[in-house]
Amino acid sequence: MKLTGNTILITGGGSGIGLALAEEFKKLGNKVLVAARSASKLELAARKGFEPLPVNMSARESIESLARTVVSRFPALNVVIHNAGIMKHENLRTTNTSDIAVETIATNLTGPILLTTALLPHLSRQPEATIMTVSSGLGFVPLAMNPTYSATKAAIHSYTESLRYQLRGTAIGVIELVPPYVQTELMGERQLKDPAAMPLGEFISEVMVILKSQPNVPEILVKRVQPLRFAASEGQEKYAAVFEEMNDRVSAARAREF
């Protein structure tokens, strides 16, 4: 992925990792389009010099409308970053979590697939293009209290692998960004201030170093996420130990909210 001279669409770009990436890419001389559902976040994006675009990533009509708008208004678009996502607790023993599951799958998995499908004809006409998905370390070692979120991130990893294979030999590169637990508002104020989470600035700084030094990297893996990413590669016992330790620790820490 080239780092300057792009027109970049970032979904979920109004806060957290998406907004931080938008700011970094803007500094490098890229035109950045920020798509989000929240009007207040779009207003913030506009104040920061980004092009604000409304979208509901859980609704097919909204996604397809976004794609048409972007292609029409910004024909130089050559990069899309699928960052929008939601993460909610699901106590499968005591609560009917069907609505959470449907919303999570629509936003985190179906949404990026539909937007990719809608934009592929346009991106294929560009001299150079990039599709970046955002999965999670939890796609490789799931957090049991967030089963659907973890499952969607595992699915996004799988989809990205297939997409990259199908687009081999074309001008479209496919990159997967795999965040660890980062200080954002994904799950509210507690996560934003949790000292156990990686500071957002440190995460983004390491991501940009990787992109600058390895422009063709297939997966962006900061050091903090590598124990989860490669847990399964160290054998079944090691994976089971990592799974149990993480889930026992987090379950104890979040017992009240879960």
Give CA–CA dist 221/226, Å, rounded: 6
In three-state secondary structure terms, 102 is: helix
- CA 55: distance to chain centroid? 16
Residues 6 or more apart in contact with residue 210 via CB below 8 angstroms: 217, 220, 221, 222
Q: Do 115 and 131 contact (CB within 8 A), yes or no?
A: no
Give CA–CA dist 161/113, Å, rounded: 13
Token pair 């913030």: residue: 44
Give CA–CA dist 50/77, Å, rounded: 14
**Within a 10 A sphere around the Cβ of 189, how many other Cβ atoms?**
8
Q: DSSP letter string over 31-85? A: EEEEEES-HHHHHHHHHTT-EEEE--TT-HHHHHHHHHHHHHH-TT--EEEE---
- Catalytic, 181? Answer no
Q: Do 4 and 30 contact (CB within 8 A), yes or no?
A: yes
- CA 95: distance to chain centroid? 27
What is the phi/psi pair of residue 134, to 5°?
-120, 110
Give CA–CA dist 142/162, Å, rounded: 21
Give CA–CA dist 105/101, Å, rounded: 6
Give catalytic residues, as residue numbers: 149
